[in-house]
Chains A and B, each alone.
Chain A
Amino acid sequence: MLEYRVEIALWAISGIIPFFMLNIWTNNNLNESIKISEVMLSRYFLCAFFVRQFSVVWVVFSFEEDSLMGKISPYLIQPLNPFFRYFAQHLAEQITRFPFALIIAFFFFIFNPESIWMPNLGILLLSIVSTFLSFLIQFLIQSIVACLCFWTEKASSIERLIFIPTLFLSGLLAPVVSFPAYVKSWIYLTPFPYLIDFPANLLSGNETNIGGGLSMQILWIFLLFPLFKKIWSEGTKKYTAMGS
């Protein structure tokens, strides 16, 4: 079982891209251009790391493999949508990943003691809710893309296309506030800033519209869920149960 533990640890470590970005931002004094202090920026990227750890989704890859190999056939004839299995797998892995994320945060604070802070309980709870909503949005987006397997067989290629705007517009590489005003106004109409930027700003204590952000997250879930249901119902009619 050692390899599974190592795999989980490596998964947690693989999400440290926000720390690289923090290094680039602070070494080049880029934070001054967006009027965020170095401390707040380092907290933002630590929070972005945490949000990413607990909202990352890979359902499209799991579903694609299971679909192509015919592994979902037994699940399709059970009275439970197979996506609930993937959902449970994601939640279980998030829980497993939590201690590793804490260890990484511990080391982060050792090297950045000035960044240590304790969010108040209300903000902490709202951040947990917001991170979970972010996870739901990403899970729904990927599930919709995964259902394209019923037509294209290679849905992960389409996911790669979505990954590009996710990377740039979600706040993983840079806080959305750093974009020019006219670009920002468009970005906030997409689901991307509500995946990392909003929950990370909320948790780190940066200025953010809490009500607006949470409402947009819920709105996106309400928009994506019926779309998922429709594409699922149409897709299963196309299912050929190949490989079984």
Chain B
Amino acid sequence: MVQNIIEVRNLSKSFDISTKEPGLKGTIKHFFRRETKSLKVIKDISFEIKEGEIVGFLGANGAGKTTILKMLCGLIYPSEGSILVSGYLPFRRKENFLKNITLIMGQKQQLIWDLPPIESFYLNASIYDLDKFEANKRIKKLSEMLEVDEELYIPVRKLSLGQRMKSELLAALIHEPNILFLDEPTLGLDINAQRNLRKFLQKYNKETNATICLTSHYMKDITSLCKRVICVHEGEISYDGKLDLLLKKLSPVKEILIVCRSEEDAVKLQNFGFTVKNKIKNEITIKIENNSITSSLKTILNNFDIEDLLINEPPIDEVIGKVLIKKDYDI
């Protein structure tokens, strides 16, 4: 049986935020009597993640998904509740725990700006107690997986964003962590670079059975990497389960564009009993429930002279978007 590697129970996090009114009066008031309010950004959440799982955290900006990742990796201290990651309390930042995890933030870098990435790799290798032979072996292996080569010897400031991100990944994975926390790792990358990064993460997960917790606003990252998603809405979990189940529930119908040979056929089809979205001359768009697609298509093909048909999947961004903007969406 696969073990839980992450266990979160009744986790909450509050931040004290100071507020200031605009203008000179507000500034003077703020100087003498600062008003602060406690903002609860994570509200009593619980979940478990199994070893080797890839879990996507979905949520609108400010929903709290990055805060959850920061607490899971021990970067910030929880206000209430408990977290166990690989048997450790993350915020204690024990050496063995830190050697087992990594955090990659798409908008933050750890590489030394003025030096080639290889220098940062050797520095990280020393920090994680790797000898030169082992470090070189891992750098070679990871650079082959990431398809980076001569970039390793060029100062970081001269690299493109994609090259830099690959180098960041290499630096973050040199100690071969078995839990990866990725906060928008594909942010700002072009389509090819995004695809390569996703391929790499899939390969890394397959080869090392590493657990990956991922946040991303690019739905392609989520759909191609994560079987399970946790949707976060205003600090609470609004859905925790399989992604395909979520999609089926949120989008129970598919749209089918049918091009009939004649307009007469299109009219007949319009009156056949399907839910019609629209009809333009001999083209008709109908809506069919996911569970009756096969039977409905058989009926259509048997009874009508069809020139062409196209099944439209609803755009995933649109579907997921529904769950992100409404807390009690019926899922």
Contact = CB atoms under 8 A, between A and B. Distances in A.
Interface in B77-99: 77, 91, 93, 95, 98-99
A71 B108 contact: yes
B77 A237 contact: yes
A77 B74 CA distance: 7
B272 to A, nearest CB: 57
Given A73-B75, A77-B103, A244 B108 contact: yes
B280 interface: no
Contacts of A158: none
Given A79-B95, A80-B127, A244 B73 contact: no
B99 A241 contact: no
Contact of A77 (B77, B101, B109, B114): B101
A240 interface: yes
A70 B74 contact: no
B257 interface: no
Interface residues of B toward A: which range? 20 to 34
Interface residues of A, number: 18
A244 B105 contact: yes
B128 interface: yes
Contacts of B91: 237
Contacts of A76: 74-75, 93
Contacts of A163: none
Interface string B218-254: 0000000000000000000000000000000000000
A74 B77 contact: no
A120 interface: no
B127 A241 contact: no
Contacts of B76: 239-241
Interface in A81-96: none
Interface string B40-80: 00000000000000000000000000000010011111000
A244 B109 CA distance: 10
B98 A78 contact: yes
B110 interface: yes
A75 interface: yes
Interface string A59-74: 0000000000011011
A3 to B, nearest CB: 11
B75 A79 contact: no
Nearest to A80: B127
B245 to A, nearest CB: 32
Contacts of A240: 15, 76
Interface of A is mostly: loop
Contact of A73 (B77, B101, B105): B105
A73 B108 CA distance: 9
B102 interface: yes
B127 A73 contact: no
Contacts of B110: 74-75
Contact of A79 (B73, B98, B108, B114): B98
B107 interface: yes
A58 B287 CA distance: 67
B108 A78 contact: no
Contacts of A70: 108
Nearest to B181: A77
Nearest to B98: A79
Given A79-B128, A240-B15, A74 B108 contact: yes
Contacts of A79: 95, 98-99, 127-128
A77 B98 contact: yes
Contacts of A238: 77
A132 to B, nearest CB: 22
Contacts of A75: 110
Nearest to B96: A79
- Among A75, A79, A236, A244, max chain B CB count under 10 A is at A79
Interface in A3-61: 4
Contacts of A237: 77, 91
B74 A244 contact: no
B77 A239 contact: yes
Contacts of B70: 73, 241
Contacts of B105: 73-74, 244
Contacts of B128: 78-79
16 contacts: A71-B108, A73-B103, A74-B172, A76-B75, A77-B73, A77-B75, A77-B98, A77-B101, A77-B102, A78-B98, A78-B128, A79-B98, A237-B77, A240-B76, A241-B75, A244-B107
Interface of A: 4, 70-71, 73-80, 236-241, 244
Interface of B: 15, 70, 73-77, 91, 93, 95, 98-99, 101-103, 105, 107-110, 114, 124, 127-128, 172
Given A73-B103, A73-B105, A79-B128, 15 more contacts: A73-B70, A73-B75, A73-B108, A74-B105, A76-B75, A77-B73, A77-B93, A77-B102, A78-B98, A236-B77, A239-B77, A240-B76, A241-B70, A241-B76, A244-B108
Across the A-B interface, the 10 shortest Cβ-Cβ residue pairs: A74-B110, A79-B98, A79-B95, A237-B77, A80-B127, A244-B108, A241-B75, A241-B70, A77-B103, A78-B127
